[in-house]
Amino acid sequence: MKKMPVSEVWQYLPDDVQFVSMDEDGTSWGYLNQPTLRMEVFRWCSTGEDILNITIKLDYGTDDWTKTLRERPVNISLGQFGEFWNDEHMDRYGYLDRIDRLFGESIYYPTGICVGWSHFKPIDPATLSKQRRTRWT
């Protein structure tokens, strides 16, 4: 059976799925949050019920299931509009703004707060209501 390269699966998964991995038995899973490796149960585990069973076989480029965790690629640039959140305030996408600077694994937005890629969700301003869009147009 031919396997799909893991780099191609993202287009078929819900936007909230940020990570994929394969367990010891060859089953692939999608996660909203980064899972941790649990050797005692031979699988990747995530807190909460944020997993999605992926029924097609994926090619991770390795046969070692402990090295299969992949994060959704992010395609963003300066000026990208989106929702941000940070762990300190526990807000889920609590801020709407644009990316001001890129720095390694972090992004900055004009309010001066720095967050990681996993704390940013790109948005097309045209999809927002006129009331919410006013500040950025």
pLDDT digits (tens, 9 = 90+) for 19-28: 899 999 999 9
Indicate whether 67 and 86 sit together in one domain. Answer: no
**What residues make up the domain containing 94?**
81-136
Q: Which of 45-49, 52-56, 123-127, 129-133 has the highest mean pLDDT?
A: 52-56
Indicate whether 65 and 9 sit together in one domain. Answer: yes
Ramachandran bin of 42, using left for φ above 0, alpha for ψ from -120 to 50, beta for the remaining angles: left
Residue 135 reports pLDDT greater than 60: no
Indicate whether 19 and 63 sit together in one domain. Answer: yes
pLDDT above 70 covers a percentage of the chain that reads: 76
Write down the pLDDT at residue 64.
94
Residue 76 lies in a domain: no
**Cα–Cα nearest to 116, from 124, 106, 125:** 106
Alpha helix locations (H) across the chain? 6-9, 130-133
